[in-house]
Structures are given as C-alpha cells and as structure tokens.
Structure 1
Amino acid sequence: MKKLIFIALAVIILGALGFQLYRKIGKKPGAERQQNQPPVAVVAAPVERVVLQDIGEFSGSLSPNAQFVVSPKLGGKLEKLHVDVGDTVDKDDLIAELEDEEAAQQVEQAKAELEVARASLEDSQNTLLLAEREHERVKALHEKQIASDAELDRIEAERRAAGARSRVSLAQIKQKEAALRAAEVRLSYTKIRATWNRGEGSRLIGERFADEGALLKPNDPIVSVLDIDTLTAVVQVIERDYPRVYEGQRAIVTSDLFPDREFEAIVASVSPILKEYARQAEVRVEVRNPGRILKPGMFVRVQIEYARKEGVQAIPVDALIQRNGERGVFFIDEDQQHARFIPVKVGLIHGGRAEILEPQLSGMVVTLGQHLLQNGSPITLSGESGGVQPQNPGDTGSGAKSPGGASR
C-alpha cells in the first residue's frame, strides 16, 4: 500500500515538473518568434473624406423622344419630295406635294357654283321686293274696297312664296361657301407638311418610305420625323430596386461609342406595373443629346443615383478582410511598424471605396498583404503606399476609436 502511494506521488511530481518544463520550453521560442518575426511588406492607403454615391447600373437602348410618320390624307401621285434622310426640318415645313390638278379643278367648280348661288339669291331678293310692293298696293286698294278679298289673298301668297325662295337662295349660298372651303382644304392636302404640337425646335428625317412618282393611298407613309435633341433610354428595374427609383431622379448615361463622355439624364417615368414573369418594371430615362451625337437604337449604360453622401469616411475596398467571422481592416499604428485588426461597420460601397460608419479612423490601413498579418504583426510599408494622414487631436495613440459597430 505504501509502495502504491509512493508511486502515485512520484507520478504526480514528475507530471508537474514535466508540465512546467513544457511551458518554459514552448513559451520561450514563441515569444522569440513574436519578437524575431520578420516584418511583412504591405501596401497601405490613407483613410479619406470623400463623396460616395449609391448607384444602380442598368443597360438599355435609345429611342427618339418623339417620332411620327408623315402621310397624305388624300390618295394621289407623289409629284415632288422635298426632303431626304438626315435632313433637318422645322415645324410646318413642306415635305412633299401630290398631284393637284383634280383638287384645283374642284376648287374652281365650287367657286363657280357659289357665284351661281349668289346670282340666284339676288334674283329671289328682287322678286321678294316686288312682291312686297305689290302686296302693299293691293292691301291699300282692299282697304278702299277697290280690290277683292281673293286678289289680296293671291298677292299675300305670292309674297310668302317669294320670301321662301329668298331664304332658299340664302341657304344655298352657305352651302356653296362650305363646299368651296372643303375643296380648298382638299387642295391644301396635296401640300404635305411636317406638323407637331410639342416643342418648337428642328427635327430630323429618319426614314424615307416613298419615291417621287409613286401612287399613294391615304395614310401611306412617306417619311418619318424624329426628335433626337432629347432621347429616351428604356431600362428594366428589378423588384428589389423598384422602390428606390422615382420621377425626377438624376442619372448618367454612357455609351461604348463615346467611352470618355457622360450624358446628363433624368428619370422621366416609372411604370406602375411589374411584369409577372420577370418581376421587373419599365423605367424611361430622358437623355440630353448635345450635338445630336447619340442616335436612336444605340446600346447605352444607365446609372441612376439612389443616394449621395458627402464628406464620408472611406477606405479602399481592398482593405476590407474577414477574420474570425468579423469584417474589418488592419490599421497601421503611429510607429508605422505594426498593424492591428479592427472590426468595422461598412456603409455604401462604390467606385472601389467603402464607407466606414464605425469606428472613426484617421491614418493608414493595409490594402495589400493583409492576408499574411495577425493582430500586432510587424510590417514594412512599400513604396506604393500613400502618405500618412495626421492624427486627429482627440484620437487614441492607434488613430482609431474603440470599434463598437457590428460588421456586415
């Protein structure tokens, strides 16, 4: 029994000595490694105050702001076409002329019929005047009992008939005047003009559908007229972004044909309906087209600005890293020899920059090489790093407030 107790005590003592020796041997090289670890070469960039935008990016095609087809109201031979594709036209410019011999003849005939009606009116009015005078004479004789009742009745009947013929002639005058106006309108229809109600600027001939000498029917197309001073880009917005788009919203349009130019635009209309099969809504964006360099049918990219923040704290997106389930950055200490991992709360991300909501930082963050770092690792800055920003007077020695925001 004593032997077993002795053996147990010996095992316990040896175990304790071994554990202490293990701690001593294991700790010493680790500490030496922490102190003797070679610095990691990293690239860093400063925390900046910038303007950030939350932008939705879409693609679509351009269409004219206004487009219509010029057509004749009458059928006939196309005698003269005054414009061609690409020509500029103003409001009420003459586009084409139809053969007008028949219409002109109808005008002349209507004028002649009007003259006949006027002559007939003059004759009926003279007859009415004579009938009224005769009626007055017979009436006076009847009062003197010289004229009989039958003769007075006959004269009164003739007077009423003359009055009726005069009214008929007057109505015929109005009828013939209306016929003349109709004939003149038909004649004017042989002169085909470009007319529109909205806008006073010039427009372009987009297409030509007929040639001189062609026999046209009413409403046959001759040319199309386009308004491209302002174009319309039609894009499809998904359900998630739909509540963020509204009329009057600012937008920017770019084209592969003009990669260095941005065209100002504005959201003109938002469809109240989302298509069931795609869960998308149609949004129309009006694009200013200075110099008319953009053309209908071009493929364009549309950026709609959802939100805009000025003076926000931002860092390069490349500085963000995930460690132990947290999103953060490696912040460089004042001595520029060590980097510490700091969890951050991220806001807007755009144009390669990320908004840092929490904590407030001032200094440099690692943008390249952070995957080789641990908290407190020694570092050396490469020549590609940006300059160090001065520390804010109220900041701690690390240049950052305590990280209190949750990462996302």
Structure 2
Amino acid sequence: MKKLLAGLLVLAAFGWLLWEIYDRTSAPTGGPRRGGAGPVAVEVVPIRKAVIRDVRRLTGSVLARSQFQVAPKIAGRLEKLMVDIGDEVHNRQLIAQLDSDEYVQQVAQAEAELEMAKANVVQASSNLELARKKLARYRALYEKKVASQSEIEVVEAEYKVQEAAHKVAEARVLQNKAALEAAKVQEAYTKISASWENGEGRRVVGERFVDEGAMLKANEPIVSIIDIASVTAVIYVIERDYGKIRIGQEARVTTDALPGESFRSRVVRVAPLLKEASRQARVELEIPNPKGSLKPGMFVRVEIEFIRLEDVTVVPAGSVVKRNDTDGVFIVDTENMKVRFVPVKLGLEEEDMVQVLEPNLSGSVVTMGQHLLEDGRSIKLPGTESEDASPRQDAQQTPPAGRGGSSGGRQ
C-alpha cells in the first residue's frame, strides 16, 4: 500500500511538472503566462534626490569623567560619615570623622614635651652664661699671673660643656616642635575630606563602602566620588573604520534608559593601537551632561557620521540586481509598459537606500518583481491588471462569429 501511494505521488509530481512546461510554452501569444514571456506584475518607486551619509552605529558604555576613592591616611574607628550615595560634595568638603581621642592626647603630650624642652633651653642658656663669665674672670687672673695654666684649661672645658648642653637643648626644642606638628597632622587626618585639583563645581558620591563604627585600616576606601558634569562614552571600532575616526569628530548618543533623548558628543581620544585579539581600537567621546541624566555604566548607542552628501541620486537598495555579474536597476518605460536594464555604479549605502554615481538616472525603478525581469520585458503595475483583464473577459464571453453558442477559451 505504501509503495502504491509513493508511486502515485511521483506520478502526480511528474504530471504537474509537465503541465508547468506546457503552460509556459503553449500559452497564447497575446495573453499572460505564468512565469513565461507575458507581463510581470511589479512595483515601482520614483528615482529621487536625497541626502545620504556614511554612518557607523556602534555600542558602548558610559564612564564618569573622573572617579576616585576617598580613604583615611591613618587607621581608626569611623565615628561619623557625613555623606551617602547620590549626595553632592564640593572640593575639600568634610565627609567623614575618625575617632580622634588618641590623637588629641598625642598632641597634648607633644605640647607638654615642647614646653619642657623650652625650659631646658632657658636653663642651659643660664649655665652657659655663668660658664662664660667664669672663663673671662680666670683669663684676667691668668694675665696677672694669679691663675695657673691648668686652672684656665679646666674652666675652658667647663665652658665648652655648657655650650654643648645649650645646643642640645635648642635641638630638642626643634625636635619637640616637629613632634608636635606631626601629632597635629595625625589628628588632622582623623578629619577626612574629598579634595581634587582644579576644584571647581560639585561632584557626586557614587558608592559607599563602609558604615559608621567600622574599624578602618589606612587607605581603606570609604566612598567613591565621581564627576558627571560631563561623561565619557567608550566604544571600540574595527580596523576598517579606524582610519576614518578623527579627534573632534561629532557623534550622536542615545540610550534605552532615556527613550526619545539624544546627546551630542565629540571624539576626544583614539587609541594608537588595536587589540590583536579583536582587531579593535578604543575610542572615547566626551558628552556634556549638565543635568546628570547619563550615569556611569549605562549602555549607549553611538552614531558617527563619516561622510554626508547632499542632493545625490538614490534608489532603494532592494532595486539593485545583478545581470551577467553587473549591478543594475530596471528603469520603467511607462509608454510601452516595459523595463530597461541599466548598469549602475553604486556609492554610499544608508539603511535601505543606495547612491547611484553613474549614470544620471531619472524616472522610476522596479522594487518588487525585479528578479523575474530581463531587459525589455513587459510589466504590469498595481491597479492595471483588472483593466487589462476586462477586455479579455468580454472577448471570452462574446461568442465568435460562426461558432454558434459555444463559449471561448480552452476546452
């Protein structure tokens, strides 16, 4: 039964193929043929002048113009945190306070030691003055032959001892002053500020890493500060487009997070090398962001215009076909309802339109059904089929002379 069914299917397919061949070769000369030499139904559009661009649409990510982490220079317990995520901060603003009791005590101790050192200098100065007077008196006695040489030497040695002690006392004052300044610096480090160079404007707290009460090590991050008054879009271009990128080139940026909005940007940095693995180069664009709408980490689409041509001849890209390995379009001869294949030299292509460099075209081109056409083929346009069919139907319904009441058409 299965073999019989398969045989019937093969015979049916073979019969359909024979019917197609017969229908294509034996249809009346003046009538339409299914895929034969009869008119082919097509759609056309006018050739027009328009603007066309060489555009690349790339994707990338947003980075803050600058970003840094604020961390203490000394270890300690975080006593108070004055800012949180999203807060605006200005340059040198106090944002955190460490427990400072220990450092305050160190400052007080350093101050006391400095005062003691100053008192030692006063005492050393007094001792030095006494030694100087004693030395002067013994020298006078020595000149009068009252004091001996050995006595003079002893007094001079005492003077040098007091002079050295005075210098040591003065040095200790300087040392204690430095220790006091160091203690004050350590105490100042308990007050943590956000500071940056060229500190105009405000910045924003991007992240918070710790909470109040946490024990911090030196250089352990507390918060991150970002500048989003303008942001940077990072994209990667392939080797083919790398040579077209220029510093200062303008681009349009959009993001799904802000539908309906676009942002102007310009190329500010182009990497001098391509990554060997991907053959792509990093390109950075600066985007003014006065409202702070764009946030770091956002996915963006970047449209860069390399070339813009005004008033050029364009046709739909789908209208271009190949005949004998030559690009061309079918131009409509509306008087004879035929088409003419015209080889073309193409230029830029943007979306569904392509530029025609040569020749200078006018009229209309076929945009649907062109793959069934050859040069000189008859066509029919939408809306004309019913008009063409009416006379044929009338002819079929009117019996020819001498045939009686028999109907026309194939029996």
TM-score, normalised relative to structure 1: 0.75
Aligned residue in 1 for 2:260: 260
1:273 shift after superposition: 4.2
Could you tell me how far apart the structure 2 residues matched to 1:138 and 1:380 are?
139
Does the C-alpha gap of structure 1 residues 161 and 326 become closer, same or farther in structure 2, counting only changes over 3 Å? same
Corresponding residue for residue 392 of structure 1: none
**CA 1:247–1:198: 2 relative to 1, 3 Å:** farther
* Alpha-carbon offset, residue 171 of structure 1: 1.3
Contact 1:233 1:287 in 2 (8 A): yes
- 2:46 maps to 45
C-alpha distance in 2 between matches for 1:336 and 1:157: 133
Residue 373 to residue 158, structure 1, CA distance change in 2 (3 Å)? same
Partner of 1:239 in structure 2? 239
Q: Distance in 1 between matches of 2:154 and 2:266?
A: 83
User: Aligned with 2:291: secondary structure?
Assistant: helix
Q: Distance in 1 between matches of 2:215 and 2:206?
A: 22
Q: Are positions 1:89 and 2:89 aligned together? A: yes
Mean alpha-carbon deviation: is it higher for 61-70 or for 267-276? 267-276
The CA deviation at 1:224 is 1.8
| Partner residue in 2 for 1:404 | none
Measured in 2, the distance between the counterparts of 1:368 and 1:216 equals: 72
Is the contact between residue 43 and residue 369 of structure 1 (CA under 8 Å) also seen in structure 2? Answer: no
Indicate if the aligned counterparts of 1:78 and 1:96 stay in contact, CA closer than 8 A. Answer: yes
Q: Secondary structure at 1:66's aligned position in 2?
A: strand
Q: Structure 1, residues 312-354: CA drift from partner, whole Å, max 9, x if none? A: 4434434433333221233456979765332221122124332
Opposite residue 354 of structure 2, the aligned amino acid is: A
Distance 1:157 1:371, change over 3 A: same
In 2, are the aligned partners of 1:40 and 1:373 still within 8 Å (CA)? no
Residue pair 1:60, 1:300 contacting (<8 A) in 2 also:
yes
Q: Which amino acid aligns with 2:65?
A: N
Number of the residue aligned with 1:391: none
CA–CA separation in structure 2 for the residues paired with 1:147 and 1:310? 115
Matches of 1:258 and 1:330, distance apart in 2: 43
Q: 1:176 to 1:289 in 2, by over 3 A?
A: same
State the secondary structure of the residue aligned to 1:258: coil
Residue identity in the other structure for 2:241: D
The whole-number CA distance in structure 1 between the counterparts of 2:197 and 2:101 is 31
Q: Contact 1:348/1:355 (CA < 8 Å) preserved in 2?
A: yes
Summarize the Cα distance change of 1:180–1:313 in structure 2 as closer, same or farther, 3 Å threshold.
farther
From the superposition, tell whether residues 199 and 373 of structure 1 become closer, same or farther in structure 2 (CA, over 3 Å).
farther
Which ranges in structure 2 are unaligned for 5 or more consecutive residues?
1-28, 384-411
Answer yes or no: is 1:357 the counterpart of 2:357. Answer: yes
Q: Output the CA distance in 2 between the equivalents of 1:153 and 1:231.
A: 80
Equivalent position SS for 2:260: strand
Paired residues for 1:248-287 under 5 Å: 248-287=248-287
**CA apart distance, 1:88:** 0.9
Structure 1 residue 158: deviation in Å?
2.2
CA distance in 1, matches of 2:185, 2:216: 18
In structure 1, how many angstroms separate the alpha carbons of the residues matched to 2:309 and 2:132? 93
Report the alpha carbon displacement of residue 39 of structure 1 after superposing the two structures with TM. Answer: 9.2
CA contact (8 A) 2:39 2:377 kept: no
Identity %: 47
Give ranges in structure 1 of 5+ residues lacking alignment: 1-28, 384-408
**For residues 380 and 360 of structure 1, do their structure 2 counterparts lie closer, same or farther at Cα, with a shift above 3 Å needed?**
same
Cα distance in structure 2, aligned partners of 1:140 and 1:283: 89
Q: 1:80 maps to what in 2?
A: 80
- Correspondence for 2:224: 224
Match of 2:397?
Answer: none
Query: Separation in 1 of the partners of 2:50 and 2:289?
Result: 34
Q: Secondary structure at the match of 1:260?
A: coil
Structure-1 residue corresponding to 2:69: 69
* Counterparts in 2 of 1:166 and 1:331: CA distance versus 1, 3 Å: farther
State the match for 1:108 in structure 2.
108
